[in-house]
Structure 1
Amino acid sequence: MSPGVYQLPDLLSICPKKTGNIISPSFKETKESYEQWVRDNIGYFASIVRSDMPLMAALVCPNANFQELRAILDYMSMSYMLEELTDRCSSEMAKSTCNLWIEILKNREAGEGHCHPFIKLMTKQMAPRVKGAVDPYHWAQFIQSCAEYAKNTAQEAVDREALKGTVDIPRIASYTVMRRESIGVRPCLVLMRSTRKLYLPEHVLKHPDIAEMENAALDMVYISNDLHSFKKELSEDGALNNIITIMNTDPTTRHLDLQERFDHAGKLFQGALDRFKACRDELPGFDDKEIDNQVAAYADGLVDWVVGGMEWSSITPRYRVFANDADRRNNILRLDDRWFMSVTFQFLLIIGIVVACITFVTL
């Protein structure tokens, strides 16, 4: 490989296949509706437009209908905006924002009177729509998972400050525990159970094999996401909260060069996949045929999330991980062109477009 060019592991090729639809039949309708809502409420130039979240929702929840996809998109939009608001701020500000975020989900009155446009949107539109679409059976589970997500999002801000100072740096094991929550997927798994009408009681979800199967799926999601987002994050903040960077500080992996760290991430993914398969192959029985069928359906839904997430992250403009289709097919990552992803370049590009438009209008 040339300097700055790396081989990413081919994770999709080793994953189980989706058992139903590849993509939701409601994708096109949902995409048009969501993008119109974004234009009306957020604007054309918002970074959320470039994230292509309707495609993600349709790939990870391929059995969801239009109304269900819109609710999933509302949650994804809220979590995306929380990430944007906390990515570059102080840890204290991140904690305050995360606390407000979860309080609005619990009770929309917590957001009344705030002037921030995102808080207003979340209070008046997104949070009520999500609550209206989630089955009441799943609402408490959804809130609990969102609270864990918000807590770990705030912790990421604390860790960013630690990485810049002298405080202990997370190792792979502790990072993995935090990342399962901070990636924001566990609430989506509750939404998935709601859309699939899977009424799994707490004692079933907390069974060691079911909990381990879910955690293994979340590990696969975060590892693949960290691989695909590494290029973008490297251009923004040095990828401080990314498994590839964490390897560079963990005593067991700090001797690895960058290509070896990518390879090691592939091994970690394979380990999580092996754990997932072992749990799926040995699903416990609960002396209730309906619950047993729903547990099996939940395992299928986890596969959809893992595979769909990788399908999306490999093509989304948010990450632009691959320079062209040939690189995507061969999993070739080029870090020698990442200046074009930098905030400075994007700002200059927008300024150039605006100037060109003004010039054209005045001709």
Structure 2
Amino acid sequence: MHMQKPVAATGDGVLTNSDGLIILTRPETAKNDTVTVKIPNLFISIVGEPRKLNPLLEKTIHTDDWACKTLNFDEKLTKQWVDMKFPLLCASMVPSSSEQPLQAFTEWVSWSIPFDDRIDGGDLANDPDGAAQEIIESLAIMDDDYPTIDPGKNGVRHMFQKLWWRVSQYAPPAERRRHKRLNRDYMLGLIQQIKWLGYKDRVLTVDEYLAFRRPSSGMGPTCVFAEWSVTEANEIPCEVVEHPSVEIFRDLVIDIVSIANDIYSCPKDIPNGEGSNLISVLLKQGYSLQEAIDEAGKMVLDRYKIWEQAVRDLPSWGKEIDEVVLKLVRAYSDVCWGNMNWSFITSRYMGKEKEQARTTGLLTFAVKDIEKTARVPSLQAS
């Protein structure tokens, strides 16, 4: 089964349809109290080729029911959760995975959403001590002697424990080790996010923002599942997987997905006043919304170029290992494509405009939301 390839705006300010017919030329249009902007077409280069969905998707759909029951969701919340299509996200990002890595990844995503949402705008967003305590408890779950968690007492921790049990049972030792390390980095990144976003009157630089966005994005642990999908059937030494010339692709995945996600999720984040978004950071720096989206898109395209060069620069470890390395690089690029493709299918980010965004690249925002996001408290007071 092939996913439909998104058709988005070209990068030169000219919007075309699938036949190349120009249907609109404009950098940004305003009408009364709304602004319509155009998102860039990122489906080129390493993600230019549409992928197939993992054929095991149907075997993971039940994870939605498990997550909703564990989190004690009512009918309304359950429907909202199912509409997010998290199993499809995972099946898109690891299309060649066998059942266990795919199921574990689906469980990880199902856990990370409620865990992350508590810190990213939830009850722990302004409580670094409470967030730190939750993180300490969560990291301790990956100790083998941690007691079994009753789902009725703490559903989110129970989900993480079940996931860890699956990883412990089925993942190769090297992937278990990386899973621990990168989940630790992810959680500590969330603490840094609270710290930096706590400076309400400070305009962050892009480098400052990415310094906490990279670990807090969750893409580090995600890459472990992509690696697992390759290494379980292909022998590859740890020193190769962790070689700088290979690790650069994991770093690029983190940046590409994080920045692209910030573009696609800004229709949700800007109205909600979410500071952990590159578009919001650029708005505070004085960019217009269209300029901010264009700049973020350029950052993604720049990383495609780095990726292409990194492939050319790969050293050789011998024919057999080189073939596995290329499979690993392909798996990393699958992660990028899958996340981007899902962004146009889920209701999580663009809501009712997702089909319009997919076919035309256009998104509409309320002017008041943009102005509120761009406002810096100290500058407003002066």
Whether the 8 Å contact between 2:260 and 2:340 is mirrored in structure 1 is yes
Which residue of 63, 70, 75 maps to 1:34?
63
Which residue of 318, 321, 339 maps to 1:309?
339
Matched residue, 1:191: 225
Equivalents in 1 of 2:81, 2:46: separation in Å? 29
Residues 65-92 of structure 1, C-alpha deviation per residue, up to 9 Å, x if partnerless? 3333211111112222210221232122
What RMSD in Å do the two structures reach over aligned CA positions? Answer: 2.5
Whether the 8 Å contact between 2:262 and 2:277 is mirrored in structure 1 is yes
Deviation, 1:242, is: 0.7
Matched residue, 1:244: 279
SS of residue paired to 2:366? coil
Deviation, 1:169, is: 4.8
Which residue of 303, 309, 321 maps to 1:272?
303
Equivalents in 1 of 2:110, 2:145: separation in Å? 16
SS of residue paired to 1:323? helix
Residue 297 to residue 109, structure 1, CA distance change in 2 (3 Å) = same
Residue 106 to residue 76, structure 1, CA distance change in 2 (3 Å) = farther
Q: How does 1:42-191 map to 2 (within 5 A)?
A: 42=71, 43=73, 44=75, 45-46=77-78, 48-87=81-120, 88=122, 89=124, 90-107=127-144, 109=146, 112=149, 115-123=153-161, 125-162=162-199, 164=200, 166=201, 169-191=203-225
Equivalents in 2 of 1:181, 1:200: separation in Å? 25
Whether the 8 Å contact between 1:322 and 1:328 is mirrored in structure 2 is no
Deviation, 1:199, is: 4.6
Equivalents in 2 of 1:103, 1:255: separation in Å? 43
Matched residue, 2:258: 222
SS of residue paired to 2:40? coil
Residue 223 to residue 111, structure 1, CA distance change in 2 (3 Å) = farther
- Structure 1 window deviating more from structure 2 (9-18 vs 83-92): it is 9-18
Q: Which amino acid aligns with 2:53?
A: I
SS of residue paired to 1:62? coil
Equivalents in 1 of 2:239, 2:212: separation in Å? 23
Equivalents in 2 of 1:199, 1:153: separation in Å? 34
Which residue of 187, 208, 211 maps to 2:247?
211
Q: Which amino acid aligns with 1:269?
A: V
- Structure 1 window deviating more from structure 2 (191-200 vs 87-96): it is 191-200
Name stretches of at least 5 consecutive residues in structure 1 with no aligned partner: 340-363
Deviation, 1:268, is: 0.5
Equivalents in 2 of 1:199, 1:188: separation in Å? 20
Q: Which amino acid aligns with 1:309?
A: N
Q: Which amino acid aligns with 1:156?
A: Q
Whether the 8 Å contact between 1:230 and 1:242 is mirrored in structure 2 is yes
Residue 327 to residue 79, structure 1, CA distance change in 2 (3 Å) = closer
Matched residue, 1:296: 326
Residue 210 to residue 36, structure 1, CA distance change in 2 (3 Å) = same
Residue 56 to residue 292, structure 1, CA distance change in 2 (3 Å) = same
Deviation, 1:207, is: 3.1
Deviation, 1:111, is: 6.7
Equivalents in 2 of 1:159, 1:119: separation in Å? 26
Whether the 8 Å contact between 2:226 and 2:331 is mirrored in structure 1 is yes
Residues 257-287 of structure 1, C-alpha deviation per residue, up to 9 Å, x if partnerless? 111111111111111111111101221112x
Name stretches of at least 5 consecutive residues in structure 2 with no aligned partner: 1-28, 370-382
Whether the 8 Å contact between 2:60 and 2:106 is mirrored in structure 1 is no
Deviation, 1:107, is: 3.9
Residue 105 to residue 256, structure 1, CA distance change in 2 (3 Å) = same
Matched residue, 2:269: 233
Equivalents in 1 of 2:261, 2:347: separation in Å? 14
Matched residue, 1:281: 312
Equivalents in 2 of 1:328, 1:321: separation in Å? 12
SS of residue paired to 2:346? coil
TM-score (normalizing by structure 2) = 0.78
Whether the 8 Å contact between 2:236 and 2:324 is mirrored in structure 1 is yes
Matched residue, 1:360: none
Whether the 8 Å contact between 1:248 and 1:255 is mirrored in structure 2 is yes
Residues 271-320 of structure 1, C-alpha deviation per residue, up to 9 Å, x if partnerless? 1111111101221112x332211111111011101111100112211112
Equivalents in 2 of 1:70, 1:210: separation in Å? 25
Equivalents in 2 of 1:208, 1:137: separation in Å? 17
Equivalents in 1 of 2:164, 2:81: separation in Å? 17
- Structure 1 window deviating more from structure 2 (223-232 vs 317-326): it is 317-326
Equivalents in 1 of 2:287, 2:139: separation in Å? 39
TM-score (normalizing by structure 1) = 0.82
Whether the 8 Å contact between 1:100 and 1:111 is mirrored in structure 2 is no
Deviation, 1:151, is: 0.6
Deviation, 1:48, is: 3.8
Equivalents in 2 of 1:201, 1:99: separation in Å? 31
